[in-house]
Structure 1
Amino acid sequence: MKPIEPFYFLKHNNVTYNATSLMQSYFPIIGSDALAVYDYFVAFYDNGQKQHKFSDILNHLQFGMHRLEVALDILTALDLIVFYETDSAYLIKLHSALPTELFLENPVYRKLLEKKIGEVAVEQLICQLPFNAKNISKSFSEVFSEVGELKKTPKKAKNFFDLANFKQLMSKDGLSFNNETDDVIGLYHFAEQFGYNWFETYQIAKETAVNYKISLKRMQTKKQSSPKVENKPDFSKEEQVVIKEAKADNAEVFLAKIKKMRHATITATERKILSELADMGFLDEVINVMVLYTMSKTNSANLNKTYIMMIANDFSYQNISSVEQAVIKMRSFAEKKNHTQKEKTKQQKSNVPKWSNDSYKNETTEDEQAKLEEMKRRHLEKLRKKED
C-alpha cells in the first residue's frame, strides 16, 4: 500500500459517531493515531462519490505511512472499519463504535481496557441497576402478532375513576355529597391510595354513608380498621355475642332493638347523637358497642348523651376503629372500675368505735386518765347545778 494509491468509501454507509464510547472505551486501547484516522474517515465520508488517496490522509493528519498502516490495522482489529482491496482501489467500510455497555460485555475488549486503565477504572464505567429494579420491557411476542403486525393493546389511564357512573349509582341509591368538590377529590385520592376502581370505591362509600351522605372519614376508618386486635385475646361468650350483634345492624336499628326491650322508641335527639358519632368517623359497629355500654350503665330507657360522648372522646383518642377493639376497651373500663371500687372499700373508715374491738389496747397514761376523770367530774357538777 502506497500513499499515491486510491481508496473509496463504501456507498450507503453513514454511521453514528459515538464520541462518548470512543473516548471512554476505545481510546485507551487504540491510541490517538487510530482515533484520528477514524475521525478523518467519518468527517470526509462522501457516500463513495469520488476517489481519494492515502496521501490526503497523511497530509491532513501530519504523520507518515507507517503510522497510517498501524492505525488501519488497529481499527480493523477493533471492528471500527472494514478494509477491502479490489483490482483498482481500496474500499473503506465504517462501523459505529459500540456503546460502552456492549463494549464491556465483550470479554476480550474488557480485558484490553483493564490492562490500559485498571480494573477499578473499568468498574466505574459499568452501568449498574439498583438492586430492586424490575425489568418491565415487553417481549417480541407481546408487541407483535404472529404475522408481524403490532398488537392493538391501548393502555388505559392509570386508576381511571369513572365519576359519571359513580354519581349514577349515587342517584339510584339516594346518596349525596356533603361538598361535591372536596368529596370528589377525596374519593379519587382514596381510590388511588388503596388501589380501588370506581365501583369498589362506591361500595365502601355506600356502606359507610351517614344519613345517605358520603363520609370520607368513615371510608378511611373502614379501610384502616382491622378485625384483629393485638395479641389475639380470647373473648368470652358474652363478648362474642356483642361482637356478632354489633356487626349485624346499623346504629339506628341496633338502638331500636334495645329501646324495644325497654318499651321505648328512638327520639329525634338520639338520632342526632348517632349522626354526631358517625360524623366523628366511627363505624356503626363501634357506635353499637358504645350504645350498648351506655344503655346498660345508665339504667335508662333513653340514650345519655353526656355519658356516650365521654366514651366517644376516649375512643377517638385511643384510635378505636373496630368492634373488637371497642369490646376490649369496654372490658378495660369495667376492670378499672371494679379495681377502684375495691380500693375505696378498703379505705372507708368504720363507724364502730375502736374500743369496741376485742383486740383494742388502751394505751392512755395515768396522768391522762386523771385529767379525763377531772373533766368528767366538772362536767357532771355543771349538769347538777342546772337541774337545781
Structure 2
Amino acid sequence: MKPIDEFFYCRQNYLTPDTSSLMRFYYPLMGDGDLGLYLYFASFFDNGSQRHKFSEILNHMQFGMQAFEASLARLTALDLVAFYRQQGVYLIQLKPPLPAKDFLANPVYSRQLEQKIGQVALGYLALEDLSQAEDLSKDFSEVFGGGRQLNPKQAPSSKTQFDLDSFKNRMTSDGLRFSDPTKDVLGLNQLSEQYHLSWYDTYLLAKETAHRGVISLSRMRAKKEQPQAASGSQSFSPEELAIIQEAKGSKAEHYLANIKKLRHATITADERQLLDDLAEMSFLDEVINMMVLYTVNKSKSANLNKTYLMKVANDFAYQGVSSAEAALEKMRSFKEPQKKASKSRQPKSNVPEWSNQEYKNETSAEEQARLEAIKRQTLERLRKGEE
C-alpha cells in the first residue's frame, strides 16, 4: 500500500463502539495507536459515500505508513476491522468489540490478555459465576403471553473459535498435559489458523507428537513442515525400508527399550534425560530413533554414548533433518568419508608389486624388446670394462 492509495468505508456499516469493552479488554492487546485508528474509522465513517486516501489517516493520526499498516494488521487480527481490496480500491469494514462475557469465554483472547496483565488482574475483570445460583428470571411467554420461547443467545462468530473445552476433554481422556497452559493455548490457535486445522485435527497432531505425555508445539510444527517422503523409496533396500517403518511407528522411549532388551539392559535415568533433550530440540521420534540406532551400532555398547549422539543431533539440527528417510540418507554420508579415510591410512609397502604371487605383467611386446636391447648393451659394456 501507498499513502496515495484510496479506500471506501463499507456501506450500512454503522457502528457505535463499546468503548468500555475496548478499554477493559482490548486495549492491553492493542495500545494507543491501534485504539486511536479504530476510533478514527468509527468517527469518520461516511457510509461509503466517497473515496478517501490513506494519506488522510496518516495526516490526522500523525502516523507513518509502516506504523499504520502494523496497527491495521492488529485490528484485523483482533476481528475489529475487516480489510478488503476490490478492483484496485480498498474497503474498510468495522466490527463491534465482543462484550465482556463473550471476550472472556474466548480462550485465545482471554489467555492473551492474561499474558499482558496477569492472572490476578484478569480475575478482577471476570464476571460473577452464577452457575450454582438459582435462576428466578421469567421467560418472555410467562410474562407477556403468546410469545414463543426464544433460543439462548448464541455467541457471535469469531476468528478464534478454537474449541478449547473439547480439546482439553480429549487431553484428559488420553492423559496428555500442557507444558505451559497460557503459551500452549495461544500457540495451538496460531498453528490451527496457519495450517487451517479444526480443533480435532490439531488435537490428533498434538497427540502424535507429544513427548512423554507433554504436548510440544515445536514438534507439532516440525511434523507439519516435514517434507513429503520422496516417491523414490526405490533408493532404499528392503532392510532399510523396514528400519524406517519401525522408526516411524515407535515412540522414542519404547524404541530404545526394545534395543536395550536385545542387549539384556534397561534404560538409565541419564538416557531418559537425553531423549528429553532431543525432543526439546524439536526432533520427532522417528528421527530420534534413527539417531539412537546409529549410535548404538557405532559404539557397539548397551548404553548410549551421549557425547557422540549429541554430535549427530547437532549435525542433524544444522542440516534440517526432520524425517527417518532423511536421517538414513545422512547416515550414509557419514560412512563414505570413513571408508575413504581408512583406505588412505593404509601404509604403503616397499615390497615390489611383482613379488606378489597374483602380480600380472602387463608390459607390451614392443616395450619388452626395448628393455631386452638395453639389457644386452649394458652387459656388453660391463664385459669390455673387465677386459
TM-score normalized with structure 1 length: 0.49
TM-score, normalising length from structure 2? 0.50
Task: Compare CA radii of gyration and give the structure with the larger one.
Answer: 1
